[in-house]
Structure 1
Amino acid sequence: MGYQNSIFKQILQSIPRYEFEKSVRKHNGDFASKGFTCWEQFVSMIFAQLSGQTGLRGIETTMESMRQSLYHLGVKQVKRSTLSYANNNRSSMIYENVFSGLLEKILSMERRHKHKFKNPLYSIDATTIDLCLSLFPWADFRKRKGGIKLNMKLDHKGYIPTFISMTTAKIHELKSLKEMQFNPGDVITFDRGYTDFKLFATYCSKGIYFVTRQKKNADYAVVERKDVSSYKNISSDQTIIMEGYYTRKKCPLKLRRIRSKDPETGKYIVILTNNFVWSPTTISAIYKDRWQIEIFLKPNLSDFHV
């Protein structure tokens, strides 16, 4: 059987080898490499990330089981002790330069999101990274668990992060959202964990559109219902005002409530937005596209082949 390009090799082909080796030479990365080059280290760590490995032993074992494919990736047998030494002693600037070069290349391209409107679209989300509490006591999260929280703003034009912050896991992600900068006309989408009606009122006053899920216990009153018979998978499109005393005090404005059905799962979700112009199917598609940040933060490519 002839050799076929694997998914992993196709991913690695996006890395310009000339630029990579140029960065290696600049930082003297392969000095005293003992047969384990910077490229081999890079491939090993990319493999570990994409396959969901959590330790050096897992990297060594899994790559050993695929040794026949490693030749085509420019990698020989990987020992965990060698990889550990390289991770501890080689300059991270080698790989930072490679990343910067790739980012510059992507940003220079003409990019746009997949929706018809031209407004910038951003997704907001956070993920918690577990830490060993005995090694990082400052990151105490639960009784026997430590962690940090990675907060991100993802630009849907190329799905590139434009804002990243890191806090201890105890700090609510809403604090990070309040630190992010947006411009009039921007569209931002996030899950209901970011619900803050005072912040929603601020977005309304600045001409910033938000799309999120409404909480199940929301207290509201319907002031207008629109005909949705011409829309597939849309069961209602309503204009509402919030009824709760404190909620209405924070946000005395009208909002839009859309009930949408996921055609794949058959489940309904209730979407809350301050955009009264676009069709309910467009608003629904915006929230569905929020899944891209979930994929970005929590990749699960453990089944891909080398």
Structure 2
Amino acid sequence: MDKHKQKTSFCKWIAPVSFENLPLRLQEQIGQTNTYVKKLYFDRFLKLMLHAISSQKASLRDIEASLLNPDLQAELGFDSLSSSQISRKIRRINPIILEEMFYFLVSLANQGKRNGKLPKAFIVDSTTVSLNKTRYPWAEFRTTKSGIKLHLRLAYIGKGDAYPDRAIITNASVHDVNRLEIVVDEKLATYIFDRGYMDFELFDKFSYDGFFFVSRIKKNSLVHVMSEYEVPPGGSILQDQMVVLGGKNGYLTDPYRLVEVMDTQENKLRIITNRFDLSAEAISQMYRSRWEIELFFKQLKQQTTIKKFFSRDEDGLKNQVYLALIAQLLTYLVKLETQSVLSSLTIQRYLFASLWEASELWETRIRGKPTESK
């Protein structure tokens, strides 16, 4: 059978963003972008760019050269395209379209719910990508360089099981705490973030509004101990206290819980939270799950090439970031559907190894249990 008459792994991967599967409003927006277009229609552009991301293309010329592949030619319906044509398309697409596509995929991930499992927490953090000041003058950052910042919220299900469900792209000069309230919007959920988001008044506001949080505090934070809780001997928990923060003519918070723990590197961590219903060990483990977002950022930059941008234009750059996030969600949706125990990164690698093979081959590989190392 001709492999292009059956569903390839690539087709399986991108199926959720196929035109017919998208919401009507998004279809209408996409239709408007195809006006007066002769070759690079939006669906072809999307396939080309997702292929470039999945195969880690480093430049527009690499993408141009990839069209020498007959399988990709057959998928797209044309056999050549210049790097300048790709560049123009990237910057002419309205980022709102790809942003809405990202949130559409988030809704699918939320519906999947991993056999009914709800997120244990939401991890919030940002990552900064430094840029050349001359090439990206619009991306305000520092005197000597430009940059953008991706503010991200990760829905955390369990170790190795998380997906992005909120994303905001700003200039790197925007402080993290200025975007925190935007991503904290689900009551009774627990939000985990680092000390870069410390704001005593905001902590109180979260508590008043019914949001739980777990965060580190800075070394110079003023702490007033109100009472001590018993700490089991021999563990990593050093102290468990009820405290208020601030003072000395500054803002004084409501009572919170301060858990001091020793990490694996023998460093002391001071964790503040408004969760009084959990054990100190559970609070410690919850904060340590923050490492999941660090791994996600590392994978996003290394495996989806957002360190190497294909456009100097602001819209083009935002489009590439959203495409990278869309690629991550597409892989996560396959993980959900197949109930695979493999990491998203491993699933992505298996995809690239069997890109133009029948999708059943890829699905069979990722449904299996991971091989134990000897």
Aligned to 2:228: 224
Identity %: 24
The answer to whether the Cα contact below 8 Å between 1:210 and 1:273 also exists between their aligned partners in 2 is yes
Aligned to 1:125: 125
Aligned to 1:250: 252
Work out whether 1:45 is the aligned partner of 2:49: yes
Q: CA deviation at 1:148?
A: 3.4
Equivalent position SS for 1:251? coil
Q: CA deviation at 1:71?
A: 6.2
The answer to whether the Cα contact below 8 Å between 1:129 and 1:149 also exists between their aligned partners in 2 is yes
> How far apart in 2 are the matches of 1:45 and 1:247?
55
Q: CA deviation at 1:285?
A: 3.2
Structure 1 moving runs of 4+ over 6 Å: 90-94, 265-268
Aligned to 2:214: 211
Equivalent position SS for 1:140? coil
Aligned to 2:237: 235
Q: CA deviation at 1:83?
A: 1.9
- When residues 57 and 281 of structure 1 are mapped into structure 2, their CA distance, relative to the original with a 3 A threshold, is farther
> How far apart in 1 are the matches of 2:179 and 2:232?
36
**1:119-140: CA deviations, max 9, x gaps?**
xx32222233445544654543
Work out whether 1:57 is the aligned partner of 2:57: no
Equivalent position SS for 1:159? strand
The answer to whether the Cα contact below 8 Å between 1:214 and 1:271 also exists between their aligned partners in 2 is yes
Matches within 5 A, 1:1-150: 11-16=13-18, 18-19=20-21, 23=27, 26-27=31-32, 29=34, 33-34=38-39, 36=40, 38-50=42-54, 53=57, 55-60=59-64, 63=66, 67=69, 70=72, 76=79, 79-88=82-91, 99=102, 101-110=104-113, 112-113=117-118, 115=120, 121-134=121-134, 137-150=137-150
> How far apart in 2 are the matches of 1:108 and 1:258?
37
Equivalent position SS for 2:303? coil
> How far apart in 1 are the matches of 2:240 and 2:233?
13
- When residues 291 and 254 of structure 1 are mapped into structure 2, their CA distance, relative to the original with a 3 A threshold, is closer
Equivalent position SS for 2:278? coil
> How far apart in 2 are the matches of 1:6 and 1:291?
34
Q: 1:215 is matched by which residue type in structure 2?
A: K
Q: CA deviation at 1:239?
A: 0.4
Instruction: Tell me which of 152, 161, 167 is aligned to 2:165.
Output: 161
Q: CA deviation at 1:278?
A: 0.9
**1:141-200: CA deviations, max 9, x gaps?**
2122123333334444773434x4444322311122245554652311101111222322
Q: CA deviation at 1:46?
A: 2.0
Matches within 5 A, 1:243-282: 245-246=247-248, 249-251=251-253, 253-259=255-261, 261-262=263-264, 269-282=269-282
> How far apart in 2 are the matches of 1:91 and 1:179?
22
Work out whether 1:200 is the aligned partner of 2:203: yes
**1:57-76: CA deviations, max 9, x gaps?**
34345x369x3764686575
Point out which structure has higher relative CO (alpha carbons under 8 A, 6+ apart).
2
The answer to whether the Cα contact below 8 Å between 1:123 and 1:189 also exists between their aligned partners in 2 is yes
The answer to whether the Cα contact below 8 Å between 1:201 and 1:253 also exists between their aligned partners in 2 is no
Equivalent position SS for 1:143? coil
> How far apart in 1 are the matches of 2:125 and 2:221?
22
**1:78-114: CA deviations, max 9, x gaps?**
5423422443556778756755654554455556435
- When residues 301 and 269 of structure 1 are mapped into structure 2, their CA distance, relative to the original with a 3 A threshold, is farther
Aligned to 1:175: 178
The answer to whether the Cα contact below 8 Å between 1:226 and 1:236 also exists between their aligned partners in 2 is no
**1:11-60: CA deviations, max 9, x gaps?**
3244446437x9498447396534x5544421332244456656413434
- Structure 2 unmatched ranges of 5 or more: 305-347, 356-374
Q: 1:191 is matched by which residue type in structure 2?
A: D
Measured on the aligned residues, the alpha-carbon RMSD in Å equals 4.4
- When residues 82 and 205 of structure 1 are mapped into structure 2, their CA distance, relative to the original with a 3 A threshold, is closer
